[in-house]
């Protein structure tokens, strides 16, 4: 079992920055990759970014160049630095952990999920 808790969400003006954190506990040594997804009202959950235990990172085109995913060495905490935020980035952001490589950009690739944190970007 892996437990995940996100933090760092909030209200920010367009062009501003936020840093989300995801604290992992439990069998984190089994974690192959960590990912961030988001879901805006009335929309499906979408991939934002992922990082493998090797340190390789992957981003959705919509956030490439603005968001940066990082982790501590033990994969106990994963961060999402979000810069140049836009109103369309408004969503609930979820952290997820994958125990095996089934893929990195789809929700069914991940085994555990956090409860989410709200990010609101005002125009």
What string of pLDDT tens digits covers the 123 residues of the chain?
899 999 999 999 999 999 999 999 988 888 889 999 999 999 999 999 999 988 999 999 999 999 999 998 777 899 999 999 999 999 999 999 999 877 899 999 999 999 999 999 999
Spatial contact of 69 and 60, defined as CB atoms under 8 Å apart: no
pLDDT the model gives residue 78: 96
Give pLDDT, residue 102. 76
pLDDT value for 88: 97
Q: Is the backbone of residue 99 left (phi > 0), alpha (psi -120 to 50) or beta? A: alpha
């Amino acid at each position: 079992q892996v437990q995940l808790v996100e933090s760092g969400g909030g209200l920010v003006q367009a062009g501003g920055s936020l840093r989300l954190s995801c604290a992992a506990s439990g069998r984190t040594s089994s974690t192959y990759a960590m990912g961030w997804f988001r879901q805006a009202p009335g929309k499906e959950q979408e991939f934002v970014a992922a990082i493998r235990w090797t340190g390789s990172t992957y981003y959705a085109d919509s956030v490439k160049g603005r968001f940066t995913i990082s982790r501590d060495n033990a994969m106990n905490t994963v961060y999402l630095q979000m810069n140049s935020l836009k109103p369309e980035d408004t969503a609930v952001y979820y952290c997820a952990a994958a125990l095996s490589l089934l893929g990195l950009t789809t929700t069914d690739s991940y085994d555990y999920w956090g409860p989410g944190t709200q990010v609101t970007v005002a125009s």
